[in-house]
Chain A
Amino acid sequence: GQQVQQSPASLVLQEGENAELQCNFSTSLNSMQWFYQRPGGSLVSLFYNPSGTKHSGRLTSTTVIKERRSSLHISSSQTTDSGTYLCALPVNTGNYKYVFGAGTRLKVIA
């Protein structure tokens, strides 16, 4: 079955609105990352967050290991936040195999 599930699949926001993106895992979690994929395809690492809460500007990542979930909160969205948000985690001992979710496609309109 799918090891990483992201929701929602897509989201449209009015500029200034907040968003909550979810990532759920079927395997044990020992580290996970959130990425932003630009429309051109390149990936930017947003958070490396094994557990707890981390902040970066308007972004907050919260990972709860025992519940096998992680969330990415975007506050006061801007049109430049548009793109795809991906979560990923290693799924084998040694952390050499990483699995990505299908992503949340975010569109922020002015």
Chain B
Amino acid sequence: AQTIHQWPVAEIKAVGSPLSLGCTIKGKSSPNLYWYWQATGGTLQQLFYSITVGQVESVVQLNLSASRPKDDQFILSTEKLLLSHSGFYLCAWSPPLYFGAGTRLSVL
């Protein structure tokens, strides 16, 4: 079965602290991978996509970075969190789009 495991499920972090979110894909070879972000009450926005290991393209600049160290792993990170980073982060593969359960981030 194809699955996406995202970690952590939720985070509460201080402004200025670092962040690392991850997802691991099972059962799908060489997928296109994505990071999406949704502010509370907002629209889903695509942040990054990756079509192969080591290559990541930015779609929206939010002072975040992403890396794909392995075919089945996608990492989202920043060295300094902002209040505006709060929201819901989703990892996905395609085609078609299939999402993980998401990580809810609160920056205080």
Q: Contacting A45 at CB < 8 Å: which of B45, B46, B98, B102?
A: B98
The reply to whether B49 and A45 form a contact with Cβ atoms under 8 Å apart is no
Chain-A contact segment, one of B21-29, B62-70, B78-86, B89-97: B89-97
Nearest chain-A residue to B50 (Cβ)?
Answer: A96
- Report if A41 contacts B (CB, 8 A): yes
Chain-B contact segment, one of A16-24, A61-69, A97-105: A97-105
A interface residues, tally (CB under 8 Å): 20
- Report if B61 contacts A (CB, 8 A): no
Within the assembled complex, what's the spacing in Å between the Cα atoms of A94 and B57? 13
- Report if B44 contacts A (CB, 8 A): yes
Tell which of B44, B88, B98, B101 has the most Cβ of chain A within 10 Å.
Answer: B44
Binary contact track A79-102/B, C-beta < 8 Å → 1, others 0: 000000010100000111111111
Nearest chain-A residue to B101 (Cβ)?
Answer: A42
The reply to whether B32 and A103 form a contact with Cβ atoms under 8 Å apart is no
CB distance from B28 to the nearest CB of A (A): 14
User: Which residues of chain B come closer than 8 Å to A41, judged between CB atoms?
Assistant: 38, 88, 102, 104
Q: Contacting A96 at CB < 8 Å: which of B32, B96, B101, B104?
A: B32
Within the assembled complex, what's the spacing in Å between the Cα atoms of A43 and B45? 14
- Report if B7 contacts A (CB, 8 A): no
CB distance from B30 to the nearest CB of A (A): 14
Interface residues, chain B, with chain A CB atoms under 8 Å away: 32, 34, 38, 43-46, 49, 51, 57, 59, 88, 90, 94-99, 101-102, 104
5 A-B pairs with least C-beta separation:
A48-B96, A100-B44, A43-B99, A41-B88, A96-B49
